[in-house]
Structure 1
Amino acid sequence: MFEHYFQCPYCWEEVSMLLDPSVSQQTYVEDCEVCCNPIEVTPQFQDNELIGFNVQSIEQ
């Protein structure tokens, strides 16, 4: 596990998230630690290195 920083697509604050490189590609929803809105997170790993990272807002 390692910590990755990114900008929330709702409040634009910098937030951090722990990512697990043991799964090469995954998509899940996690709430922003600042504004509590749900964010769809899609990290991609290759050889335990982060090669892609995408976040997007989820329309409520």
Structure 2
Amino acid sequence: MLEQFFQCPYCWEEISMLLDTSVSTQTYVEDCEVCCNPIEISIRCTAGELQEFQANPLGQ
């Protein structure tokens, strides 16, 4: 597991989440822990290392 810090695309607060780097490609929805809006999380990992991370408003 890897802790990733990023800004919420709605309220701009810095939040963190734990990422499972054992799965190579993931896309899922997680609610912001501050404003509760849905964030679409997309990650890509290679050999357990994070290669790409995106946190976008749902539907964009």
- Which category of TM-score, normalised to the shorter sequence, fits these structures? over 0.9
Give the total of aligned pairs: 59
Alignment of 1:21-32 (within 5 A): 21-32=21-32
Structure-2 residue corresponding to 1:5? 5
Give, in whole Å, the separation in 1 of the partners of 2:6 and 2:43.
12
Structure-1 residue corresponding to 2:40? 40
Corresponding residue SS for 1:17 = strand
Q: RMSD of the TM alignment (CA)?
A: 0.9
| Structure 2, unpaired ranges of 5+ | none
Percent identity of the aligned residues? 63
TM-score between the two structures when normalised by the length of structure 2: 0.93
Segments of 4+ moved more than 3 angstroms: none
Instruction: Decide which structure has greater strand share.
Output: 2
